[in-house]
Each structure stands twice: as structure tokens, then as C-alpha cells.
Amino acid sequence: ETGVTQSPTHLIKTRGQQVTLRCSSQSGHNTVSWYQQALGQGPQFIFQYYREEENGRGNFPPRFSGLQFPNYSSELNVNALELDDSALYLCASSLTSGGVYNEQFFGPGTRLTVL
Amino acid sequence: AQSVTQLDSQVPVFEEAPVELRCNYSSSVSVYLFWYVQYPNQGLQLLLKYLSGSTLVKGINGFEAEFNKSQTSFHLRKPSVHISDTAEYFCAVILNSGYSTLTFGKGTMLLVSP
């Protein structure tokens, strides 16, 4: 069974640029959640995708957007990068099956640095 | 909305000593509770979870936690730590009804020295 993978591992961008981060969910999972973890902080929920639709969103501006593909992999796009966007971006996959709680399995993250 | 407070940003401890990492939460409705561990340059790994039943929960690597509803706490304990337990530990909650997402605390860095 393949776990959650993310690419790239590290990324350096400059202010104003755009970035795309990628996540492959664990086999059999249909839901992907994205989190931002700033230095010294806990992860903060960005949004969640279920069956290719956004299924919930945290307190992040619209320049943070996402996609989920038919194979349940996902992308996180950030436009007009700001210095404060520098963080570890975590992807987590889960199987939504009707219960309230569906365990999330995390990938290793993508470290984004904005200069 | 729910929130999580981890009272200690850093906990230094000697190898083979016991340790307790504190977590308090705030929520107007019932929650599920979790502890995750993050090793350097890695993602999050679930240590243990409380969904229902016994308030004492045992997890991986010898860790356990006790849910205390009256004190809204979910402290993590280990009777004897190893150097390899050095990592960041995050407490998290999710509402146990309706749509909800994980809310994390700011983390506690456990530093185990010989």
C-alpha cells in the first residue's frame, strides 16, 4: 500500500510568483485535505476536496485554490505569493465513508520559501 | 469554534525519565481528540486518538493519554522516554458531529538528552 506522497520536497519562489504543489493520496482514499504549517506553529486547515469538489475551507484568501483529479490526487495553487506564505504545506488523505471521523494520513510535506 | 492550547512550547527531559505533555481544548460540543508526532523534516504521524469509551488511551511507541472531560484536557504521557522520542508533538481536536476539520495546537517540542 502506497502512502501519501507530495512533490516537490522543497521550493523557492519570489514574491508575486505563482506556485503549484502536488499530492498523491493513499490508495483507496477519496478525500484530500491541505494544511499550512508556518515555522513554530501547528498546521492550519486550508481546504478539503472530496470527489473533485471543494468540501470545506479554512480562513485563507481566494489566491489559495485547489483541484482534485479523478484519481483523487490533488494540487494546491497559490497566486501572488507573499513572504508570509513561506511554510511547510501538508497534504492528508482519508476515506470518506459516511462516518463523522475519517482518519487522515499525512504526507511528508512541501517546504515553500518565498523570497 | 474549537481551539487547542498546548501549555509548553518545549519540554526538556533526560532519557528514561517520565514525561507529560499538556493539552487543553475548548469546544461548545463534544470532540474527538488526537496526538500527532512530527520528526524533523517529516509529516505528521498519528500517535493515538480518543473517540469514545475508556478515557485512558494507549498509542504507539509506549505513549498514552487520558481524556478528562471536566478539565477539558488530554495530556500525553510516557513512563520512560528514549532519545528517539525527540520530536514535535501536536494535540488536535475535531467535532464529533456535523462537518468538521482538524484543529491543531501550536505543538510541544520534546527534547530528550542522555
Scanning A26-65 for CB atoms below 8 A from B yields: 33, 35, 40-45, 48, 55-56, 58
What tens digit of pLDDT does each residue of B38-58 get? Answer: 998 888 999 999 998 899 999
- Put simply, the answer to whether B101 touches A42 (Cβ < 8 Å) is no
Chain A partners within 8 Å of B100 (Cβ): 100
Q: What pLDDT band is residue B12 in, cutting at 50, 70 and 90?
A: very high
Distance, in Å, from the CA atom of B107 to the CA atom of A43, rounded to the nearest integer, reads 9
Contacts of B43 in chain A (CB under 8 A): 4, 90, 106-109
Distance of residue A106 Cα from the nearest chain B Cα, in angstroms: 6
A106 has a chain B CB within 8 A of its CB: yes
Instruction: Give pLDDT, residue A96.
Output: 82
Task: Read off the pLDDT of residues B71-84 as tens digits, 9 standing for 90 and up.
Answer: 999 999 999 999 99
- B97: pLDDT strictly greater than 80: no
